[in-house]
Structure formats: C-alpha cells, structure tokens
C-alpha cells in the first residue's frame, strides 16, 4: 500500500468548544471538558481533532473575533489546560488542529486599539484605513457578510476602516509586512506547543491590496434565493473583482507554508475559502508552496442538495483535484444547519430516515478523495435545533435577521452525553449558554457508544474497515461519478485495488465491491 501523508486522507473531528463539554459548571464548554472526552473521539476511529477558536475574545462572534492569538479565553481555560489537552490527544494517537483567524481580529485587540487612535502611531497601518469620498460616503460599495456596509467611520482618525464581518471585526492590512510577520509569530507559537495543523478561517477575506480599492461589480444573473440570507444585497455582487480573493493573499499562504515546512511531522494547513469561482480560488490557494488543502463548500449548501446536486458538487471538486489530497470535504459544520435535517427534504425523506441518511452521508464523504471533517454530533445523527426561543439566541447573524432567519445557533447547541444526567451530562450549571435539545437526549454520546447497533458504532466499524482498503488509503484517485437517479457510484483506484463504491439514496445503504 502506498503511503500518503496523514492529512491527505484524514478523518478530522470538528469540536465547537463552547458546546462540547463543560468541566467547571458555568454552562459553557471548555478545554478541560474536551480533554475529558478525547477517549470517546479516539474510539470513533478518526485521525485528528480540529477545535474552533478558544483564544481571548470579547465573544461577539464566539471566538472568531480574537483579542489575543496567543492566550486562552478565560471561559475556556488556560494554556496549561491546552497543553494537557494536546498531550492526551497525542497519547491517544490523535493529531490536533486549531482554528487561526488571519483575516481580521477583534476591535478589542491591542493592535486595533492603538491603530484607531491616530494616523501616525506604530500600528497606524495595520488595518485598512481610507478617507471618505469627497461627498463623505464610504470608499467602495463593499458589503459585510453580516449585513450593511463593510466600512465603519472612526472619528478619531476621520477615516473609515474595513470589516468584512461585524463592525467589531476589523480586517488586518496584509499589505503591511509587519502584520504578516506578527501572524507568522502566532503560527510558530502554536506549532512550538505541538499543534499538528491549522484550519485557516475565511482566508478568501484577507485583504492585502492598497488603495484605491476597486468596487465590486454587479452580479447580473442574481436571483433571490429562497433563504433569507441569500436575499441580502451582499449576494447581488461579484466579490472577486475587488473585495475578496485578492491575488496579494498568496503572500500570506506562502509565508505560513514556509513556517509549516520548518517543523517535523507534516504540519497541515487547511484554508476555508469561497469565491465567485470556488474551484479556481482553491487551485490558487493550493498551488505549490501554498496551503496543503482547502475546506470544500460543495456539500455544505444551506438548503441541502438532491442526488443530482450531490453528483454535481462532487464532480466539480473531483475534476479539479483528482489524484491529489488537496481538498477537504464536509457535510456539516458550525456555520450551517445539520445535514441530518438539511438533507431530508431535497432527498424526499422523512425524519424517520434521519439515522440511516446520516450514516450514508458519512460513508459517502469519507470515501471521496482527500480528507474529511465530521462535525460533533454527526456520528450521533443529531438533528438541527429549530425551536430556540428568540430571547435565548446568541449568534449575531441570527439575531440581526430573526425571526425570518435563525442563524447558526441551530447547529451549535451543546453536546449531550448521558440522557439520565442533568443537561444530558454536558454541564451541571442551572442554565447552559444555549438550550439543551430534548431531541438529542435520545442519542446521547456515551449512551450511544455503549449501544452496539448505534450510528456511532456503525461509523466506528466503517472507519476501521476503511483503513484496510488500499483504494481508499493508498491513493487519491477516483473515477467519474455515475449511477441512476437515486444513486451515486464511483470507483476508488490504487495500484493494489479498485473499489466500486455505491451509495443508494432510495434504500439508504452503501455497498463496496472489489473489481
């Protein structure tokens, strides 16, 4: 069997730390809680763990607004807690990845607090500061992902600053070499602590151009989507013409790759990105000397995909990357509704099919080329939680557009571990940061791990079988996708084995045959 690097076919388990396990009874998950549950993850048979941000932060966007990249937010613990976590993960044979946010930081970060004071301080050029147009309006027509203009006025400097997300998430100026070097120091800090890789958040939103900036061009074929977030003015624009995927980004990816290559153990860089042409953007980011792989959005369609849509999504990615490990697939994450719910309607299924569908989706994605990310709760077929009271909502995106759009809280509710314990074993607090889902209690993690016929154990058995298949583990090659209206069929191919993989969305079963 040919030997690939670990990240080329890894199954990576994503943890949203705020919702995984609370160890100190404050209703919020933390690093010590993750450490306590690593055995559960290791027994599932995954290869690595990716933890969403746990750095110091005002938590306006729950960690994606960083105020100190080299320290731990108090609610999550301490650096000693992190060191204990990584030590146990490695002892269990798990690689550990963390989430770095390179495009923007928090407005509470000392870098921005200094930068906003004047036009001549040492950090004055660390963010994108631009004079108003002669009529006082914003410099460009760029819009925020979360609604409104991507520019906010700072009276102290009499200038606008750029933020692709919340106003409290100012974009770092990657045209400044000092900014890039500061982030490189962040990479070294975590690699030195033993981290095996980074998931790089929203790298397509890194801005490294100098003024004058180009306006985004209109998207002439724009059609209002069915979902409220698809109706935002943001989606009426083509963004790669000005705001996003600027060629200058690659100075950052090349700098981070150079640092990763300095360390032993095949440190892994996985970039989250999108674009007007996502395949082209992914090819640019994974060109030689840049990121190892990109986090693929093809299967994360918010409204779900029918079988034809799944085939097209897989084909688009495979045609560009067949024979490589340069992409990572996912059906669920902390930003989209859970696949066990999202995929039911497009596939003509009911809630009774939830567990069988989730098993089939996991089997499908880990049979594709490249690596795979499983989001906490997928192994339990957790559904999306749509009944969170408006007064309990936490996600700023959902709060902005509620009640027509519920945001991302629906996929972020706490994990439950034992149905007989308070809060399902997640926390002993009187109230958890998001409500516990009553529906999830029937599939609590430790209870399901102890039940031989559970989805957890079926997935564990499949992942164990997968590791013995040369076609899945020894090469990243596959045939074109085929099959009937309710089937997805392809061959995985290596020198030692050709394995025909068939996924039937009528019977909700997978079959594998050597040919």
Q: How far does Cα 123 stand from its chain's mean position?
A: 30
Decide if 303 contacts 271 (C-beta within 8 A).
Answer: no
Which residues 6+ apart lie within 8 Å of 501 measured at CB?
A: 367, 489, 490, 491, 492, 510, 511, 512
Whole-number CA gyration radius for the chain: 22
Q: What is the C-alpha separation between 121 and 287, in angstroms, rounded?
A: 37
DSSP-derived 3-state class of residue 141:
coil
Helix H, strand E, coil C: the string for 446-512 is HHHHCCCCCHHHHHHHHHHHHCCCHHHHCCCCECCCECCCCEEEEEEECCCCEEEEEEECCCCEEEE
In 3-state terms, what secondary structure has residue 151? strand
The alpha carbon dihedral of 320, 322, 326, 327 has a sign of positive
Measure the CA–CA gap between 334 and 52, rounded to whole angstroms: 9
Task: Please say if 262 is a catalytic residue.
Answer: yes
- Between the CA of residue 256 and those of 127, 143, 259, 274, 291, what are the distances in Å? 20, 28, 5, 19, 8
Q: Which of 178, 261, 262, 431 is catalytic?
A: 262
For residue 473, is the peptide bond before it cis, meaning its omega torsion is within 30 degrees of 0?
Answer: no
Tell me the helix, strand and coil percentages in the chain, rounded to 5: 30, 15, 50
Catalytic residue among 47, 201, 240, 272: 201
The pairing of strands 129-130 and 159-162 is antiparallel
Backbone angles phi, psi at 6, to 5 degrees: -55, -35
| Rounded Cα distance, 46 and 463, in Å | 7
Q: Which residues are catalytic?
A: 201, 262
């Amino acid at each position: 069997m040919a030997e690939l690097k670990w990240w080329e076919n890894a199954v990576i388990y994503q943890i949203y730390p705020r919702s995984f396990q609370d160890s100190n009874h404050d209703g919020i998950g933390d690093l010590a809680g993750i450490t306590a549950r690593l055995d559960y993850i290791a027994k599932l048979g995954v290869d690595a763990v990716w933890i969403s941000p746990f750095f110091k932060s005002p938590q306006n966007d729950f960690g994606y607004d960083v105020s100190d990249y080299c320290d731990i937010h108090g609610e999550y613990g301490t650096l000693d807690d992190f060191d204990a976590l990584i030590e146990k993960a490695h002892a269990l044979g798990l690689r550990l990845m963390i989430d770095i946010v390179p495009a923007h930081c928090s407005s509470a970060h000392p870098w921005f607090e200094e930068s906003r004071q004047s036009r001549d301080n040492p950090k004055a050029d660390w963010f994108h500061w631009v004079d108003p147009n002669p009529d006082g309006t914003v410099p460009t027509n760029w819009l925020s992902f979360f609604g409104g203009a991507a520019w906010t006025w700072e009276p102290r400097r009499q200038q606008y600053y750029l933020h692709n997300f919340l106003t409290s998430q100012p974009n770092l100026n990657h045209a400044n070499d000092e900014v890039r070097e500061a982030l490189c120091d962040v990479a070294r800090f975590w690699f030195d602590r033993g981290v095996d890789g980074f998931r790089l958040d929203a790298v397509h939103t890194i801005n490294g151009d100098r003024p004058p900036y180009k306006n985004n061009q209109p998207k002439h074929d724009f059609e209002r989507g069915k979902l409220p977030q698809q109706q935002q003015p943001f989606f009426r624009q083509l963004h790669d013409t000005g705001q996003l995927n600027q060629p200058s980004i690659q100075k950052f990816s090349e700098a981070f790759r150079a640092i990763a290559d300095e360390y032993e153990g095949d440190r892994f860089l996985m970039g989250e990105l999108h674009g007007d042409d996502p395949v082209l953007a992914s090819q640019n980011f994974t060109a030689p000397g840049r990121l190892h792989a990109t986090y693929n959005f093809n299967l994360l369609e918010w409204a779900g995909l029918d079988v034809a849509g799944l085939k097209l999504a897989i084909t688009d990615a495979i045609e560009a990357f067949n024979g490589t490990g340069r992409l990572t697939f996912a059906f669920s994450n902390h930003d989209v509704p859970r696949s066990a719910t999202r995929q039911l309607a497009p596939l003509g299924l009911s809630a009774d099919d939830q567990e069988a569908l989730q098993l089939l989706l996991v089997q499908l994605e880990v049979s594709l080329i490249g690596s795979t990310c499983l989001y906490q709760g997928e192994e339990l077929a957790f559904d999306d939680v749509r009944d969170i009271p408006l007064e309990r909502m936490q996600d700023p995106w959902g709060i902005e557009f509620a009640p027509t759009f519920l945001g991302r809280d629906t996929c972020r509710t706490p994990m439950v571990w034992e149905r007989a314990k308070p809060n399902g074993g997640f926390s002993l607090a009187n109230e958890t940061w998001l409500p516990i889902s009553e529906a999830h209690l029937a599939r609590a993690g430790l209870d399901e791990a102890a039940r031989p016929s559970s989805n957890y154990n079926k997935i564990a058995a499949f992942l164990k079988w997968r590791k013995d298949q040369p076609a899945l583990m020894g090469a990243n090659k596959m045939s074109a996708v085929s099959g009937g209206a309710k089937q997805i069929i392809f061959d995985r191919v290596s020198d030692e084995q050709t394995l025909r993989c068939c996924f039937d969305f009528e019977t909700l079963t997978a079959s594998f045959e050597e040919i």
